[in-house]
C-alpha cells in the first residue's frame, strides 16, 4: 500500500466529470425538469383561466399532509387518492419524491450554492446533537421538521392553516401564480436564497413538514425487501471502504451510507434516492440503485479508493487500497 493524497488526479477527475457520473445526474435532472415543467403548465392552466380538462393543479392533490387532513375532516377519499398512492410508494421505496419529483427541490438543485463550494470533510458534515457531540451510529437526531409537522396538523384542525407558508408544493404553486400575476413570491425567494447561501437542501432536510412525513413513512417501510421495492439503494458492506465519497456527494449530507456496514437494502428515512452517492462511489459494486431487485445504476471505479487509517469510517485521505 502507498500513501496517497486525498485529491484525484487530472485523469480521474476528467473521468468523473465526463463519464457515468455526469450521465446519472443528467438522467435525474431530465426527470426533474420534466416534472417541473408539467407542474408549471398545470398551475398556469388551472388559473389563467381555469382549464376545462382538470379543475385544479393535480400536483396539489398529491400533497400528503393536506390530503390526509382533508381525509380526516371530510372523508374525501377520491381527492386524497393521489396522495395515498404516493404514500404507499414511499413506504415501498423511500423518499424518492423529494429527489426526483418535488418542484421546489428541483429549484434548490438548480441553484448555485455556497455549500457546494470549497473543501469539505466527512467529519465536517456529520450531524451534531444540541450539545455539539456526534450521535452514535444507531442514534437519530430529531430535526425541527418533526416538531413542525404535528404543530401544523393541530393548528389545521383548529382552523389555522399554515400549509400555504410551509408546504413545498403549495409554496411552488403560489410562486408560479405570483410570477404570472406580476407579484413577488417572497417565501420562495427566501428559500432559494437560503439554498444559495448555505446548503442546497437545508430546507428539505431540516424544516420541510412534508419531508418529515415522507421520512416517517419511509421508516415504516424499512423491512420491505429489495425485490419488492420499485426503487431502492443497495449496499455491499464488504466492498465498501468507508471513504466518505458518498456522504460528500449527497445533497442531503447523509453520512449513514458511508458509516453503515450493512449488506443489502439501505432504507434510510431521509435518503431521497437521488443516486449521487452511487455516482460518487469509487468502489465497484459497493452501492447501487435497484428496481425490484435489479440493478438500474451501479457504482463504477473512477479513481483511487481511500480508506481511513483505522479501517473504519473517516475523512477522505489515508491509504490507497488496490
**Is the residue at 3 inside a domain?**
no
For residue 106, the model assigns a pLDDT of 96
> Predicted confidence band at 55 (pLDDT cuts at 50, 70, 90)?
low
Show the domain range for 267.
Answer: 226-321
For residue 311, the model assigns a pLDDT of 34
**Is the residue at 167 inside a domain?**
yes
Residue pLDDT, tens place only, 78-128: 777 888 899 999 999 999 999 999 999 999 999 988 766 656 666 666 665
Are both 195 and 268 inside the same structural domain?
A: no
The model's pTM is 0.79
Q: Directed axis angle between helix 64-74 and helix 145-157, to 10°?
A: 30
**Is the residue at 236 inside a domain?**
yes
Greater model confidence, 267 or 303: 267
Residue pLDDT, tens place only, 288-308: 999 999 999 987 654 444 443
Are both 81 and 194 inside the same structural domain?
A: yes
**Is the residue at 164 inside a domain?**
yes
Range 40-69 average pLDDT: 73
Are both 257 and 195 inside the same structural domain?
A: no
Are both 190 and 245 inside the same structural domain?
A: no
Cα 269 to Cα 20: distance, rounded to the nearest angstrom? 27
Could you say which of 185, 218, 251 is where a domain stops?
218
Burial track 156-191 (b if 16+ CB lie within 10 A, e otherwise): beeeeeebeebbbbbbbbbbbbbeeeeeebebbeeb
Are both 195 and 265 inside the same structural domain?
A: no
Whether residue 136 is predicted with pLDDT greater than 70 in this model: the reply is no
- Say how many C-beta atoms besides its own lie within 10 A of residue 48's C-beta: 11
CA 54 to chain centre: 29
Number of structural domains (the chain) is 2
Whether residue 5 is predicted with pLDDT greater than 80 in this model: the reply is no
Could you say which of 218, 253, 272 is where a domain stops?
218
Amino acid at each position: 500500500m502507498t500513501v496517497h493524497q486525498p485529491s484525484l488526479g487530472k485523469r480521474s477527475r476528467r473521468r468523473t466529470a465526463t463519464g457515468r457520473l455526469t450521465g446519472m445526474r443528467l438522467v435525474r435532472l431530465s426527470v426533474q425538469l420534466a416534472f417541473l415543467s408539467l407542474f408549471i403548465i398545470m398551475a398556469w392552466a388551472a388559473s389563467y383561466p381555469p382549464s376545462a380538462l382538470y379543475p385544479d393543479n393535480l400536483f396539489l392533490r398529491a400533497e400528503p399532509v393536506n390530503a390526509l387532513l382533508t381525509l380526516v375532516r371530510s372523508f374525501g377519499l377520491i381527492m386524497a387518492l393521489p396522495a395515498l398512492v404516493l404514500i404507499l410508494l414511499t413506504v415501498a421505496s423511500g423518499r424518492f419524491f423529494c429527489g426526483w419529483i418535488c418542484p421546489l427541490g428541483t429549484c434548490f438543485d438548480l441553484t448555485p450554492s455556497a455549500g457546494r463550494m470549497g473543501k469539505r470533510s466527512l467529519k465536517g458534515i456529520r450531524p451534531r446533537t444540541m450539545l455539539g457531540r456526534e450521535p452514535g451510529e444507531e442514534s437519530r437526531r430529531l430535526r425541527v421538521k418533526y416538531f413542525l409537522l404535528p404543530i401544523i396538523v393541530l393548528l389545521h384542525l383548529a382552523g389555522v392553516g399554515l400549509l400555504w407558508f410551509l408546504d413545498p408544493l403549495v409554496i411552488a404553486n403560489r410562486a408560479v401564480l405570483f410570477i404570472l400575476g406580476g407579484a413577488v413570491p417572497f417565501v420562495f425567494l427566501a428559500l432559494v436564497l437560503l439554498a444559495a447561501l448555505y446548503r442546497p437542501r437545508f430546507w428539505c432536510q431540516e424544516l420541510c413538514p412534508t419531508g418529515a412525513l415522507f421520512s416517517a413513512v419511509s421508516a415504516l417501510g424499512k423491512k420491505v425487501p429489495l425485490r419488492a421495492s420499485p426503487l431502492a439503494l443497495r449496499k455491499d458492506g464488504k466492498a465498501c471502504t468507508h471513504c466518505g465519497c458518498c456522504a460528500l456527494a449527497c445533497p442531503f449530507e447523509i453520512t449513514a451510507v458511508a458509516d453503515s456496514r450493512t449488506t443489502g437494502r439501505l432504507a434510510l428515512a431521509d435518503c431521497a434516492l437521488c443516486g449521487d452517492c452511487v455516482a460518487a462511489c469509487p468502489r465497484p459494486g459497493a452501492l447501487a440503485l435497484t428496481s425490484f431487485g435489479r440493478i438500474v445504476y451501479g457504482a463504477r471505479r473512477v479513481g483511487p479508493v481511500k480508506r481511513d487509517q483505522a479501517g473504519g469510517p473517516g475523512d477522505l485521505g489515508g491509504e490507497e487500497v488496490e
